A and B are shown apart, each in its own frame.
Chain A
């Protein structure tokens, strides 16, 4: 395990790049075709990809993600929800009672009051309706020691159905984007040791 840590540290240092770009950069929804329309730029890009095959595969994956309608938060990070909502217009009370979300209405109120102070008098009634999704796909930056195509993860949050057992996945969440250094949990563990 420590050999793997050393390799990853060396790999990131030798490439001189940040493995995960900061979320503070504005969301980019630009398609690759829109960038660098000059012929000179495009030939230069070919040379770059020839020197860095990993970047070429990352670019193709990026294009593929755009085709699949991923919402890109940065060059290599994004997410995607299913095109069709499996549970549209579900009452909040139903979600609280049947989807293991007992504090949903309070949490929703806190979020609205915190992010939109002008709506501080808004109350969430149990009869309000939400579109509920059972999973979300996350696109993460490429991992050099694993395949470059292994970047899309699926997070599940669904109750028991006849075809599938109950699943609530765990995830790392950026609590304060202003403090996030772009290194993920490896950085935290290294700095904490």
Chain B
């Protein structure tokens, strides 16, 4: 029997709503100082989504996206455009 699975790193549930931007704030979910990873069925993937990172005020040479922990869930964009 064939199982189609996906390995995902979770973000925290949608809880912090920004009433000015009408969008949710998101942050990475963690477990034991690492990402909260899970294997899911690909059936449960609904659609792609676009996250807007909250960039730091100053970026040094060693900056990478793993250091960004706060994002806006952009519900206005079609990510395949």
Q: Which residues of the other chain, B, contact A177 by a CB distance below 8 angstroms?
A: 44
Partner of B80, one of A153, A157, A186: A153
Q: Report whether B45 and A173 are in contact in the complex, using a CB–CB cutoff of 8 Å.
A: yes
**How would residues 22 to 43 of chain B score, 1 for a CB under 8 Å from any chain A CB and 0 otherwise?**
1110000000001101111011
Please provide the chain B residues from 32 to 81 with a CB less than 8 Å away from any CB of chain A in the complex. 34-35, 37-40, 42-51, 73, 75-76, 78-80
Confirm or deny: A164 has a beta carbon within 8 angstroms of a beta carbon on chain B: no
Per the CB 8 Å criterion, the residue count for chain B at the interface is: 34
Which residues of A sit under 8 angstroms from B24, Cβ to Cβ?
185, 188-189, 192
B40 CB contacts on chain A under 8 angstroms: 111, 173
- State which size class the interface on A falls in: 35 or more
In the bound complex, residues from chain B placing their C-beta under 8 Å from that of A173 are: 8, 40, 44-46
Q: Compute how far the CA of A153 lies from the CA of B42 in the bound complex, rounded to whole angstroms.
A: 14
User: B38 and A110: CB pair below 8 A?
Assistant: yes
The contact of A192 among B11, B17, B37, B78, by CB within 8 Å, is B17
Q: Report whether B45 and A155 are in contact in the complex, using a CB–CB cutoff of 8 Å.
A: yes
Stretch of A1-9, A34-42, A51-59, A60-68 on the interface side: A1-9
- Is the Cβ of B17 less than 8 Å from the Cβ of A189? yes
Which of B14, B38, B50, B51 has the most chain A CB within a 10 Å cutoff?
B38
A residues engaging B (CB < 8 A)?
1-2, 4-5, 20, 23, 73, 79, 81, 101-104, 106-108, 110-111, 136, 138, 140, 143, 146, 150, 152-155, 157, 169-175, 177, 184-186, 188-189, 192-193
Q: 4 tightest CB-CB pairs across the interface, nearest first? A: A103-B37, A111-B39, A192-B17, A172-B46
